[in-house]
Structure 1
Amino acid sequence: MTAWIPLILLALAALLPLAAAVLRPRAALGRREADIALFRAQLAELDREREAGRLDEAGHRAARVEVQRRLIAAADQTEEAAPPRRGGALLVAMLPLMAAAGIGLYLLRGSPGMPSAPYDLRAEAMARDDQILATLRERIGTLDPRSEQARQGWILLGNAERGRGNRAGAIESWTRAIDVRFDAELAGDIAEMEIERGQAAAATPWITRALVAAPSDPRLRFLAGMVEAESGRPANARALWQALLADSPADAPWRGLLERRISSLP
């Protein structure tokens, strides 16, 4: 029995942050993050609808611009204080019971002697993912490299690589898609990912090319300023962002973000 005492104490210690959270005044933390996650999911869903042929290019672009505006607005919103939680003291009093109940349920239904998943199993799962992507590459290879089907395949592969954090793989796949047919929005995705991995210089030609096709696109103009800021040219970044701010409607959701970016420049 004494062997379980440290585990009970550890469980109580793990619940202490919950106690601190319920006793302090609650803030609306998480609303902005939830909104951002929702809008990102909507962007991914729009991409899937377009790839499946259920949404044409014009409809996809219009819907994506609207969701991106909402995404920028969500990232720009401030958090508001909320009233304290009711019943917080009662919940804190129940923490020891929650810890004991959790341990009891684990002893009853769990498998204390079962070891954690070894690295070999995790590596096997990663290998399966690699095999799936390799199969997709092989199927793309059987298509006409200049066909729309091949282009959509490369976009799908790039999305998958981005989803698992492989920026280089995503950029390579999207570049192959653009080789089939240029798309300013996809070029912006590549530029954004290059900036994220600290390669602002590599993002420049993509933004330049995309702005030729879509010179008024606010996202591309914002990314152009990001490249200048990341490259140590704050004066250029300020000029680009101030021009974008001047061209933006008074109710544009990205105005607050732009103003903060400009004020943060040296």
Structure 2
Amino acid sequence: MIWLLFLALAALALAPLGWSLARPRAARGRHDADLALYRAQLAELDRERAAGRLDEAAFAAARTEVQRRLLAAPADAPAPHPRGAATLAAGLFLIPALGIGLYLWNGTPDVPAAPFVERAAEAARDDALLAQLRARIAQVPPASEGARQGWLLLGNAERARGRLDPAAEAFARVLAIRFDPGIAAELAELQVQRNALEPAAALLAQSLQAAPTDPRLRFLAGMVEARAGRPANARVVWQGLLADTPADAPWRGMLEQQLRELP
């Protein structure tokens, strides 16, 4: 009976892939895929907010993250090789077979789920590792490249854990060692999420002097103006960015939507 259950679960998991292979459809580029993903993620965030599972601050932070990923998305990639469909079709059979084979060889069905105590212990281990990283950073010259890389690693780790304040502090230390517009964009985005709009505006102004055409910096500059209650300024910034945005840019639809939502 348990094997029938495993097979049923595998069939359910792979059913969308099988349907997509069986149904003829026009090929979609990276641009269309990015837009579809953005709309799906945004709709999910709207549902979470409507259901009361996200407050306004969390909703704004999550939406900003989706926008960041879309702005960082590359242009259209080349179309997949025709043999890709055959490979995917073979995967419909090979993936369940491989999974069952691995389970038979080294499966441990009696292992219980990780309780809260174990998850808390894992979080404590992460805290200890980050503390060790901070200690190592303290042992190298403050303005060295080693310190810069350490702070950058720490900032990314803290942001991944949702700890915006220490992440912002780490990115600020990276910029203090050597200014970089890309890292400045990361810090400015964190400041927007933390509602530190004045520092974000000052940082973006400095960054745009070094990289005046960077679309992410320009988008964030408009976001600061919109969050600060200056929609007219945000409209000017975003309309200028829209005029310079190629028609096939993956973030163009998002930018147009932001403009439509301005009061």
SS at match of 1:25: coil
Question: Deviation per CA, 1:23-64, whole angstroms, max 9, x where unpaired?
Answer: 2235656845999xxxxxxxxxxxxxxxxxxxxxxxxxxxxx
Aligned to 1:242: 239
Aligned positions of 1:132-211 closer than 5 A? 132-147=129-144, 149-195=146-192, 197=193, 199=195, 201=197, 203-211=200-208
Change (3 A) 1:227 1:170: same
Change (3 A) 1:162 1:249: closer
Q: Please, what is the CA RMSD of the aligned residues?
A: 4.8
Change (3 A) 1:135 1:5: closer
Change (3 A) 1:189 1:104: closer
2:222–2:238 Cα contact (<8 Å) kept: yes
- Higher relative contact order, structure no. (Cα contacts within 8 Å, ≥ 6 residues apart): 2
Aligned to 1:53: none
1:184–1:210 Cα contact (<8 Å) kept: yes
CA distance in 2, matches of 1:151, 1:98: 43
Using the TM superposition, give the Cα deviation of residue 239 of structure 1 relative to its aligned residue in structure 2, in angstroms: 0.8
SS at match of 1:128: helix
CA distance in 2, matches of 1:255, 1:172: 29
- Structure 1, unmatched stretches of 5+, are 36-70
CA distance in 2, matches of 1:249, 1:104: 50
SS at match of 1:216: coil
Aligned to 1:25: 24
1:224–1:240 Cα contact (<8 Å) kept: yes
Aligned to 1:114: 111
Aligned to 2:222: 225
Using the TM superposition, give the Cα deviation of residue 140 of structure 1 relative to its aligned residue in structure 2, in angstroms: 2.0
Alignment-mate amino acid for residue 155 of structure 2: G
Identity %: 45
- Structure 2, unmatched stretches of 5+, are 35-69
Change (3 A) 1:120 1:240: same
Count of aligned pairs: 224
Alignment-mate amino acid for residue 169 of structure 1: P
1:76–1:254 Cα contact (<8 Å) kept: yes
CA distance in 2, matches of 1:223, 1:128: 35
Alignment-mate amino acid for residue 19 of structure 2: A
TM-score (norm 1): 0.58
Question: Deviation per CA, 1:175-232, whole angstroms, max 9, x where unpaired?
Answer: 223344544443222012333x362625223223434x42724342332112223444
1:245–1:258 Cα contact (<8 Å) kept: no
CA distance in 2, matches of 1:166, 1:258: 26
Change (3 A) 1:15 1:238: same
TM-score (norm 2): 0.59
Alignment-mate amino acid for residue 169 of structure 2: E
Change (3 A) 1:179 1:111: closer
